[in-house]
Every structure is written in C-alpha cells, then in structure tokens.
Amino acid sequence: MSRTICEHCGTQADTKAGKCPGCGNPLRSSMSGTAKAVIAIVAVLLIAGGAIMVVMEDDPETPSNGTTVVEPVPTLPEKEGD
Ligand SMILES: [Zn+2]
C-alpha cells in the first residue's frame, strides 16, 4: 500500500483512493514521486559515470613509468615553550 500526502490539506491518503478523504482533492499519481527518484538515481549514475570516464580518459595521459612521486611532508615548526 502506498500512501501519499494531500498537497491541499496535508492529509495522508491512500494513492488508490484517487482523491483525498479529507478535502476531496484529487491525488497525484505516485508516479511523480517514483519519477523523481528515478531521475535522481539516473543523475547520480551519470555524475558517477562521468567521473569514472574522466578518470579513465585521464589515465593514459599520465606516464606510468612506475615513478612514484612522493610529496614532501611539510614539517611543522617546532614550538618553543608553551
Ligand atoms: Zn486533502
């Protein structure tokens, strides 16, 4: 059973009812919520896929000579006295 909230009066109503039991406002199909979720998932997948594509495309550009660049660790200045 899927429930929705009437946008008119805020009453929880069963989507199967078709209309709000409180005010009789016709309820929207639950498709709108599902569509939003699908769009959100697709958007996330596109963003994640795009990021992966960028990484994969960027990979051959970086020379893989086995050279590991070690970043110098910044030495903290010694504190003198507290
Ligand atoms: Zn209502």
Model confidence over 25-80: pLDDT tens digits? 988 665 566 778 899 999 999 999 988 888 887 766 666 666 777 788 888 788 77
Mean pLDDT of 11-36: 82
Query: What pLDDT is stored for residue 34 in this prediction?
Result: 78
Distance of CA 40 from the midpoint of ligand 1 (Å): 27
Q: Ligand 1 centroid to 77 CA: how many Å?
A: 66
Q: What is the mean pLDDT of residues 5-27?
A: 89
Distance 60 CA to ligand 1 centre (A): 58
CA–centroid distance, residue 37 to ligand 1 (Å): 23
On whether the pTM is more than 0.95, the answer is no
Asked if 17 and 27 count as a contact pair (C-beta separation under 8 A), the reply is yes
Q: What are phi and psi of 14, to 5 degrees?
A: -75, 130
- Alpha-carbon span 45 to 30, nearest angstrom: 23
How remote is the CA of residue 4 from the centroid of ligand 1, in Å? 10
